[in-house]
C-alpha cells in the first residue's frame, strides 16, 4: 500500500490495483486536463487538474462505502475504481470542450465504455475481472451504488467545491464533507442524508450557489472559454481537427493546434495567449431578456451574423454565450427524517430559497473586440429586445 499527499484530504491510500490503473496513459492524460478550464485567467492559482480531483473523489467514495456494511468488498472495489475513472472521458479544458464533443460525436464525458475497453487501461481492468459496462453504469449514476458518484448530492460535488475553492482562493467552498459523508446512508436502496446531515447539505448548496457567479460563471472565464470553443470549432470546420480525437487529447496539444492556425482560430489563440479578450457588449439576466432567450441557443451563429451585419463588421467579431437554464438537482436529494423520506428543499427553508437565487445569477453575454463594443451593444439590445431595469447599487459599488 502506498500513500500520496493531497492538499485537500491529506494522505490518500493507493493499493496495487489502483496504482496500475493510475499508471495507464488514459489516466495520466488527466494530469494535463485543467479542472477549471480557463479560469486561471481570473484566478492565477486555478491550475489544478482532473487527475488530482479524480483521486479526491476516489478517496471520498472509499470513505463513504467503508461505513456501509451492506456493500460487499467486491462492490466497494468496483465503485472505488469507477470513482477514480469518473472523469476519464473529459476532453481538453474539461467542460469547455464538452459541448463540442457532444455535438459532433454524441458522447458525453460520462460515456466512457470505449475508453475503458481500449489500450493499457482495458488490459488492467480485464486482468482484474472488472467489467467496463458496470463501471460506466456506476459513473453515470445508473446503479444504486453509482448514486455515490453521480446523484443530487455526491462525492464528486463534495470534492470539486472544496478543491476549486482552495485553488482559486475564493472562500466560498466551505463544505463540511466529512460530516456529510458520515450522515449519508442507503435506505430502501436510495442514497439519503439523515437528519443530522441537513446542515452539512445546506452548506454544500450554499457553497455551490456562491461559487457559480464567482468562479464557474465568472464573465472573464466565460468570454475566454467562448473564444476557445470557437477556435477549436473553426479547426473542426476546416477539417484540421477530428472531433473524435478530442477525448484523447490534452490542453496543451489542442492549444498548440489553434496557435499554429493562420486564420480565425490563430487570431483567437493570440488573443488568449496575451489576454486580449473580447469585451462584454451585453451582459444581462432573465430580468432583461426573459427565459424565451433560451430558444436562441440552437441558432447562436445565425444571431451573431445578424447582429454583426447590423453593425457592419465580420460575423467572427461577435460571440454570443447563452448558458442553459439553471438546474439545482441537489434540491431533490432525499433526507430521512423521523422514518420518512422528504426532499431536501422540503426539509430546509434555506435550500427552498436558493432556486430563485440561481435564476437571478444567470447571465447571457454578447462579446466583441473593444473597438466595436458600443455598436454591438446597441444592435444586441435591439435584437434581444432587452428591458430596462432599475439599477440597484451595492454598498461596495457606492463606496468605490
What region does 37 belong to: left with phi over 0, alpha with psi -120 to 50, or beta?
A: left
Cβ neighbours around 142 below 10 Å, total = 14
Cβ neighbours around 187 below 10 Å, total = 14
Q: What are the DSSP E strand ranges found in 188-275? A: 190-194
Identify the CA nearest to 19 among candidates 10, 29, 28.
28
Task: Kindly state the cell numbers that stand for 307.
Answer: 447582429
Q: Which residues pair with 4 in a beta bridge?
A: 12
Strands 334-337 and 190-194, sheet pairing: parallel
C-alpha count within 13 angstroms, C-beta hemisphere, residue 119: 12
User: Long-range contact list for 253-257, CB < 8 A, 24+ apart?
Assistant: 253/92, 254/92, 254/93, 254/97, 255/92
Averages of pLDDT over runs of 10 residues in the chain (400 residues) are 95 97 98 98 97 98 93 95 98 96 96 97 97 97 95 94 95 85 90 92 89 93 98 98 97 98 98 98 96 95 98 97 87 86 88 83 96 98 86 48
Q: Is the pTM of this model over 0.75?
A: yes
Residue 4 phi, psi dihedral angles, 5° rounding = -125, 155
Q: Which residues pair with 280 in a beta bridge?
A: 367
Interhelix angle 155-168/198-211, rounded to 10 degrees, is: 50
Q: What is the pLDDT of residue 326?
A: 85
Q: What is the pLDDT of residue 390?
A: 61
Interhelix angle 50-66/73-84, rounded to 10 degrees, is: 160
DSSP, res 58: H
CA distance 342 to 334: 6
The alpha carbon of 284 is separated from its chain's Cα centroid by a whole number of angstroms, namely 22
The angle at the Cα of 100, spanning 99 to 102, to the nearest 5 degrees, equals 65
Q: What is the pLDDT of residue 388?
A: 73
Integer angstrom CA distances of residue 7 from 48, 163, 226, 363: 11, 9, 31, 33
Helix or strand or coil: residue 4? Answer: strand
Interhelix angle 219-237/251-259, rounded to 10 degrees, is: 70
Helix or strand or coil: residue 49? Answer: strand
Amino acid at each position: 500500500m502506498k500513500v500520496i499527499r493531497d492538499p485537500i484530504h491529506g494522505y490518500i491510500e493507493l493499493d496495487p490495483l489502483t496504482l496500475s490503473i493510475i499508471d495507464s496513459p488514459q489516466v495520466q492524460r488527466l494530469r494535463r486536463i485543467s479542472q477549471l478550464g480557463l479560469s486561471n485567467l481570473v484566478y492565477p492559482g486555478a491550475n489544478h487538474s482532473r487527475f488530482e480531483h479524480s483521486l479526491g473523489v476516489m478517496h471520498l467514495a472509499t470513505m463513504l462505502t467503508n461505513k456501509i456494511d451492506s456493500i460487499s468488498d467486491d462492490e466497494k472495489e468496483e465503485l472505488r475504481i469507477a470513482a477514480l475513472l469518473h472523469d476519464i472521458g473529459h476532453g481538453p479544458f474539461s467542460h469547455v470542450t464538452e459541448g463540442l464533443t457532444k455535438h459532433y460525436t454524441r458522447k458525453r464525458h460520462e460515456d466512457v465504455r470505449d475508453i475503458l475497453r481500449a489500450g493499457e487501461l482495458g488490459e488492467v481492468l480485464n486482468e482484474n475481472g472488472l467489467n467496463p459496462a458496470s463501471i460506466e453504469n456506476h459513473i453515470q449514476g445508473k446503479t444504486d451504488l453509482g448514486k455515490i458518484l453521480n446523484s443530487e448530492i455526491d462525492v464528486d460535488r463534495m470534492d470539486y467545491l472544496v478543491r476549486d475553492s482552495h485553488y482559486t482562493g475564493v472562500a466560498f467552498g466551505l463544505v463540511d464533507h466529512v460530516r456529510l459523508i458520515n450522515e449519508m446512508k442507503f435506505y430502501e436502496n436510495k442514497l439519503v442524508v439523515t437528519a443530522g446531515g441537513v446542515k452539512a447539505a445546506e452548506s454544500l448548496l450554499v457553497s455551490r450557489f456562491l461559487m457559480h457567479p464567482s468562479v464557474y460563471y465568472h464573465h472573464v472565464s466565460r468570454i475566454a472559454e467562448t473564444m476557445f470553443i470557437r477556435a477549436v470549432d473553426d479547426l473542426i470546420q476546416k477539417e484540421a481537427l477530428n472531433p473524435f480525437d478530442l477525448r484523447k487529447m490534452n490542453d496543451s496539444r489542442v492549444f498548440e493546434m489553434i496557435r499554429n492556425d493562420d486564420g480565425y482560430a490563430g487570431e483567437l489563440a493570440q488573443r488568449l495567449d496575451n489576454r486580449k479578450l473580447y469585451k462584454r457588449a451585453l451582459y444581462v439576466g432573465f430580468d432583461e431578456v426573459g427565459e424565451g432567450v433560451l430558444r436562441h441557443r440552437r441558432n447562436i451563429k445565425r444571431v451573431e451574423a445578424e447582429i454583426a451585419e447590423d453593425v457592419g463588421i465580420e460575423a467572427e467579431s461577435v460571440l454570443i454565450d447563452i448558458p442553459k437554464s439553471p438546474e439545482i438537482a441537489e434540491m431533490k436529494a432525499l433526507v430521512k427524517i423521523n422514518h420518512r423520506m422528504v426532499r431536501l428543499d422540503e426539509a430546509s427553508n434555506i435550500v427552498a430559497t436558493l432556486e430563485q437565487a440561481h435564476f437571478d445569477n444567470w447571465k447571457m453575454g454578447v462579446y466583441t473586440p473593444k473597438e466595436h463594443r458600443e455598436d454591438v451593444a446597441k444592435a444586441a439590445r435591439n435584437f434581444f429586445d432587452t428591458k430596462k431595469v432599475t439599477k440597484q447599487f451595492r454598498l461596495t459599488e457606492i463606496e468605490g
